[in-house]
Amino acid sequence: MSDHAVVYAPSAEFIAQANVKGMEGYRELYAAADADPEKFWSEFAASSVDWAEPWTQVLDWSNPPFAKWFVGAKLNVAHNCLDRHLSTSRKDKIAILFEGEPGDSRAITYAELHKLVSRFANVLKGRGLKQGDRAIIYMPMIPEAAVAMLACARLGIIHSVVFGGFSAEALKTRIQDLGAQLVITADGGWRRAKEVKLKPAVDEAVLDCPTIQNVIVYQRTNSGAAMTEGRDHWWHELEAGVSDDCPAEPFDSETPLYVLYTSGTTGKPKGILHTSGGYLTQAMASMKWVFDLKESDIYWCSADIGWVTGHSYVVYGPLASGATVLMYEGTPDTPTFARWWQVIEKYKVTIFYTSPTAIRALIRQGDQFPNAHDLSSLRLLGSVGEPINPAAWEWYYKTIGKSKCPIVDTWWQTETGTIMISPLPGAVPAKPGSGTLPLPGVQAEVVDLKGHPVERGKEGYLIIRKPWPSMLRTLWGDPERFKEAYWSKFPGIYFTGDAARQDEDGYFWVLGRVDDVMNVSGHRLSTMEIESALVRHPAVAEAAVVGKPHEITGQAVCCFVTLKKGDHDVDALGKELRQWVAHEIGAFARPEEIRFTEAMPKTRSGKIMRRLLREIVTSHTVAGDVTTLEDMNVITSLAAAQQDED
């Protein structure tokens, strides 16, 4: 990647209306945060968030890595997203514009959303749920998913949203880890013109989850669902006749808001815990700076609420900021590849935030789809999930943005809670492929193994040197793993797990994971999780999983498998194993390919050398260090098999 990339500076028109104007505006803001982070965040929090009680201390970092922000303060996150707008002109402003895949639509004002959330919060109270209880939300991309999240936030119920594409097995492990008392789900949702049933997966999952006392089911597809008496309840039946008056009680700033599970290298998902005050403060800051949010914007983030992007940039950040948020249920290819462009045209979307995977898939279909629609309402584009390759950036900029919309290429993680590195669109000139510069209040650096900054242009480890308000607080039920996973490589400093470098302008180029986590279509997948699933199959003796480059999804899942002794029809077994992984984890984890091998490349101590397998599937040769390899013949035959295939 050349550092001498084409530079796209924001236009004078965009700068004139921007919330942060020009590089001097960015530098001033960044310098203020750098000089006195606590004063900076204190001032932003006081002016942006509605607090019931003030803080006595901005940051408590006396027991690293366990941070506390806005110590002693009280607030209610749902109040910030809803109630406080009701005394302003936003009361009748549309909060959520919903477009269902079949073409049904709804427009819900802030006043109406407040009633929906209050009513559902009363339903939860009626089932005996209270502050500190845990709820799993497993729903399609419909307004009720946001209602469920906000109702939980209103009552201090810790919620964990599980992406509707996850299997019953994956759902079960999350329910068990969280010790949840409640599942909120739907009969199903619409995806690619078919009903995706959700309730059967819940029924299968909760068989082994004794903590679950209630399952609440929203009727989306009206296709019916098996209901277990005493445990399962229809949402609409519970809601009938319930009051929509439910006061939002203030909670401590460090009250847990949600737990979101993300892939870890051990195969056991990590429950990332986010709390309330600091998280909401930084989510609102990024809405203002990165998305340059205005009162008149129609804002569409295409992420599912099952991912952190859906939490921070579909629900909490935008609604606390008083935005009009578009929610779309379906995929970009149904009924045609023009679907997203039709939606943008219909609702006059001004800000569009999506993933490089989606952009690459749309590029392949040709320009005729976007060119057939009026996209002139767009003023800002964004990308999230992985670095966007320069060719896709250029297409997005020219074909979708008509060369007039800045692109915010955002780098952040489930763990960071909010955007950490991104151009501010009216301030920072963009370079296709680079996340550019850290946001104010974020101290990002690229360092070597000893934690010393590396020279510009050299690769190293991406770290965040100081705590930030929206940072994860711990891993659910596992503080030791929290310390080990994020704070042990460089003591007291947050290690992102990503490799990066900075160019001569200080711009960050994020190069991807340095551990065994793949990024497939923006989904973080643990190689260990897939290996564990494969080895559970009765025919499999051993499995090693690596990511290989893929034009559309960024990475694809490639599995090397050794079989137990016996007669095997490898073609049939390959298909069966792909389906097996889809069942155990979810369809999005389905391997692109299964390669059967007599033996794995191992060190003398018996550790599989996945690095060598990764080299074989990416460059078709092995150039890395093989001095610890036990049997060179294994690699020779695997590499030869790869070349035969090519």
- Three-class secondary structure of residue 603 per DSSP: strand
- Residue 604: the pLDDT is 59
- Three-class secondary structure of residue 367 per DSSP: coil
How far apart are alpha carbons 447 and 428 in whole angstroms? Answer: 24
Of residues 269 and 89, more confidence is placed in 89
User: 175-203 pLDDT, tens per residue?
Assistant: 999 999 999 999 999 999 999 999 999 99
Q: What is the arithmetic mean of pLDDT over 353-372?
A: 91
Nearest to 373, CA basis, from 397, 337, 409, 405: 337
Domains contained in the chain, CATH given: 36-331 (3.40.50.12780), 517-645 (3.30.300.30)
3-state secondary structure 203-224: HHHHCCCCCCCEEEEECCCCCC
How far apart are alpha carbons 433 and 423 in whole angstroms? Answer: 12
- Residue 317: the pLDDT is 98
| DSSP class of 131 | T
Q: Chain-wide mean pLDDT for the chain?
A: 93
How far apart are alpha carbons 503 and 490 in whole angstroms? Answer: 23
Residue 528 pLDDT > 90, yes or no?
Answer: no
- Residue 633: the pLDDT is 78
Name the pTM for this structure: 0.86
- Residue 1: the pLDDT is 36
Interacting residues of 262 by C-beta distance below 8 A, sequence separation 6+: 269, 270, 272, 308, 414, 415, 524
| DSSP class of 429 | P
- Residue 564: the pLDDT is 84
CA contacts within 13 A on the Cβ side of 616:
26
Q: Are 380 and 291 in contact (CB under 8 A)?
A: yes
Which residue carries 């982070």 as its tokens? 37
Q: Which two tokens stand for residue 51?
A: 């607090």
- Residue 316: the pLDDT is 98
Lowest mean pLDDT among 266-275, 296-305, 468-477, 570-579: 266-275
- Residue 523: the pLDDT is 81
Which residue carries 């789809």 as its tokens? 369
Whole-angstrom distance between the N-terminal and C-terminal Cα of the chain?
Answer: 26
- Residue 606: the pLDDT is 59
3-state secondary structure 556-602: EEEEEEEECCCCCCHHHHHHHHHHHHHHHCEHHHCCCEEEECCCCCE
How far apart are alpha carbons 37 and 43 in whole angstroms? Answer: 10
Of all residues in the chain, the percent with pLDDT exceeding 90 is 77
- Three-class secondary structure of residue 358 per DSSP: helix
Q: What angle, 0 to 180 degrees and rounded to 10, lies between the N-to-C axes of helices 199-206 and 168-178? A: 50
- Residue 535: the pLDDT is 84
| DSSP class of 421 | B
Helix, strand, coil shares of the chain, percent, nearest 5, are: 35, 25, 40
Q: What is the arithmetic mean of pLDDT over 613-639?
A: 71
- Measured from the Cβ of residue 430, the count of other Cβ atoms closer than 10 Å reads 24
282 - beta bridge partners? none
Q: Cα 516 from chain centroid?
A: 18
Which residue carries 């909060």 as its tokens? 95
Residue 110 pLDDT > 70, yes or no?
Answer: yes
User: 313-362 pLDDT, tens per residue?
Assistant: 999 999 999 999 999 999 999 999 999 999 999 999 999 999 988 898 89
- Residue 611: the pLDDT is 78
447 - beta bridge partners? 453, 461
Largest CA distance in the chain: 73
Of residues 526 and 398, more confidence is placed in 398
Length reported for the chain: 646
Q: What is the arithmetic mean of pLDDT over 75-93?
A: 98
- Residue 4: the pLDDT is 52
pLDDT class for 387, splitting at 50, 70, 90?
A: confident
Residue 234 pLDDT > 80, yes or no?
Answer: yes
Render 22-68 in DSSP notation, one character per residue.
HHHHHHHHHHHHHH-HHHHHHHHHHHHS--SB--SEEEEEEETTEEE
- Residue 580: the pLDDT is 95
Of residues 541 and 422, more confidence is placed in 422
Residue 275 pLDDT > 90, yes or no?
Answer: yes
Q: What angle, 0 to 180 degrees and rounded to 10, lies between the N-to-C axes of helices 168-178 and 570-584? A: 40
Q: Cα 584 from chain centroid?
A: 21
Residue 415 pLDDT > 80, yes or no?
Answer: yes
Of residues 641 and 418, more confidence is placed in 418
- Residue 378: the pLDDT is 98
Q: Which two tokens stand for residue 386?
A: 């992985």
Q: What is the arithmetic mean of pLDDT over 604-624?
A: 74
User: 456-512 pLDDT, tens per residue?
Assistant: 988 889 999 999 999 999 999 999 999 999 999 999 999 999 989 999 999 999 987
Cβ burial, residue 193 (10 Å; 0-12/13-18/19+)? exposed
- Residue 2: the pLDDT is 41
